[in-house]
């Protein structure tokens, strides 16, 4: 990806003058455990692009590496921190909370850690939500449960009242765990803090089960979501092959980006059609989805279809859009729509089918994180603590080119990562499923996309 970033400098509240209490064991006393700010990770590692930047005398954009620093800004003995989780549920939220608390407590000796209940609404006095005292004993076993022990909510809250609350509580580091809406709110909180000339650090931990946060290579919970989505696909495949003209239809998460659908289809290669928001498709016509599905059934007698929730929204353009509490347009249910259209199409043909519709979305969102996400959450959370203790602010901890890095909030907020229809991921999906282009204005031959025949490469 060609970077358009011009500024990746991380803001700080002031000079870090206090020696860090973070130590290695005596057996590793000579090992360097501190990360200098000078160590960077290139944003764009494309050789040709880098050479062009050097030729033009430009310095390639790079991110600061995450990790503990030798000196910190805040005095741990007098520090108060707060943690808030916002937006939809996602595997790993409790792991994040737990790792923040354990690192603050045992790594730095911080005694006062507050959990804000029910998202940003927990800062607003009129809701009268209690504050949770986050101690090691409180978080000891929470990683075995799904959801978030702090609760969550959607919707905008008054930024001034949020900062008022931080001031009243004498909070010096705020950890915000959420998606794009939370990042946008966090930047506004930072603006208000700067306006009041306060010494409060705001560190974001990106949360999106869809894996669509811009400039973040991987988000926590995504691996768990893919793992559970493959189980749903296996179920759909079993149902499909056990009945004549069986069709297994699975709807997965993915409002604007189809990463879960694409990865799950590659992980469980029993899928014949993958529908994602980034790639247009038609229902009717010789190259449309319904005709392609008919061809598949006539040839093999069964089919599995995976649709991301944001796919095919053009079919609802005549209907009035509604918004949720966070201001997001409420998506129309593509799963139920496809179920109805598939049934209608084959009914008019007098062709009997056996259609099974599976929507595992809420089961996936509320599930505990798997082992890989457990580990990933620990790294994210602990690096967030290191950043906050050093006085860094207005940043999120991201994962880029296999490194944990500090990403300026402004570089990610309001932007979205999406599947490249001409990239390797989508080409791999086409190769695995055998599906052709199903849009009249973008029809590609089998040779154009180097995939198998339209009836699918797999059972």
What amino acid positions are annotated as catalytic residues? 210
What the block records as the tokens of 26 is: 């005596």
Question: For the CA atoms of the chain, what is the radius of gyration?
Answer: 24
Burial 118-135 (b: 16+ CB within 10 A, else e): bbbbbbbeeeebeebebe
What's the rounded Cα separation, in Å, for the pair 253 and 339? 17
Q: Which residues contact 231 (CB under 8 A, 6 or more apart)?
A: 360
Largest CA distance in the chain: 78
CA distance 160 to 193: 9
- Rounded Cα distance between 148 and 88, Å, is 10
Write b or e for each residue in 258-277: b if 16 or more Cβ atoms lie within 10 A of its Cβ, otherwise e.
bbbbbbbbbebbbbbbbbbb
């Amino acid at each position: 990806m060609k970077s358009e970033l011009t500024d990746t400098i991380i803001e700080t509240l002031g000079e870090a003058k206090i020696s860090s209490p973070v130590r290695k064991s005596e057996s590793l006393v000579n090992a360097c455990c501190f990360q200098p700010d000078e160590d960077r990770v290139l944003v764009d590692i494309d050789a040709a692009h880098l050479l062009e930047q050097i030729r033009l005398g430009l310095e390639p954009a790079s991110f600061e590496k995450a990790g503990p620093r030798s000196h910190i800004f805040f005095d741990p003995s007098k520090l108060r921190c707060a943690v808030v989780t916002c937006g939809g549920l996602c595997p790993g939220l409790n792991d994040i909370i737990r790792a923040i608390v354990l690192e603050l407590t045992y790594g730095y000796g911080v005694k006062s850690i507050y959990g804000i209940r029910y998202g940003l609404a927990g800062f607003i006095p009129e809701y009268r939500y209690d504050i949770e005292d986050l101690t090691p004993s409180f978080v000891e076993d929470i990683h075995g449960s799904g959801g978030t022990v702090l609760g969550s909510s959607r919707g905008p809250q008054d930024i001034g009242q949020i900062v008022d609350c931080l001031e009243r509580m004498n909070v010096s580091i705020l950890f915000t765990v959420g998606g794009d809406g939370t990042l946008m709110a966090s930047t506004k909180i930072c603006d208000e803090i700067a306006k009041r000339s306060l010494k409060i650090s705001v560190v974001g931990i990106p949360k999106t089960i869809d894996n669509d946060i811009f400039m973040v290579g991987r988000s926590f919970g995504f691996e768990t979501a893919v793992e559970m989505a493959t189980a749903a696909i296996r179920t759909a495949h079993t149902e499909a092959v056990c009945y004549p003209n069986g069709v297994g239809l699975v709807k997965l998460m993915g409002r604007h980006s189809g990463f879960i659908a694409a990865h799950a289809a590659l992980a469980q290669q029993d899928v014949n059609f993958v529908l994602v928001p980034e790639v247009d498709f038609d229902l009717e016509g010789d190259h449309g989805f319904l005709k392609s599905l008919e061809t598949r059934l006539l040839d093999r007698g069964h089919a599995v279809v995976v649709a991301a929730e944001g796919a095919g929204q053009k079919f609802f353009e005549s209907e009035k859009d509604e918004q949720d509490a966070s201001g997001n347009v409420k998506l129309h249910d593509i799963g139920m729509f496809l179920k109805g259209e598939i049934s209608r199409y084959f009914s008019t043909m007098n062709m009997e089918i056996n259609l099974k519709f599976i929507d595992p979305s809420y089961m996936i969102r509320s599930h505990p994180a798997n082992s890989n996400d457990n580990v990933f959450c620990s790294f994210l959370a602990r690096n967030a603590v290191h950043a906050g203790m050093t006085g860094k602010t207005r940043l999120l901890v991201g994962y880029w080119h296999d490194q944990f890095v500090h990403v300026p909030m402004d570089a990610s907020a309001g932007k979205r990562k999406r599947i490249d229809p001409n990239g390797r991921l989508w080409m791999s999906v086409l190769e695995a499923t055998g599906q052709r282009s199903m849009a009249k204005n973008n029809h590609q031959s089998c040779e154009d996309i180097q995939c198998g025949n339209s009836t699918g490469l797999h059972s």
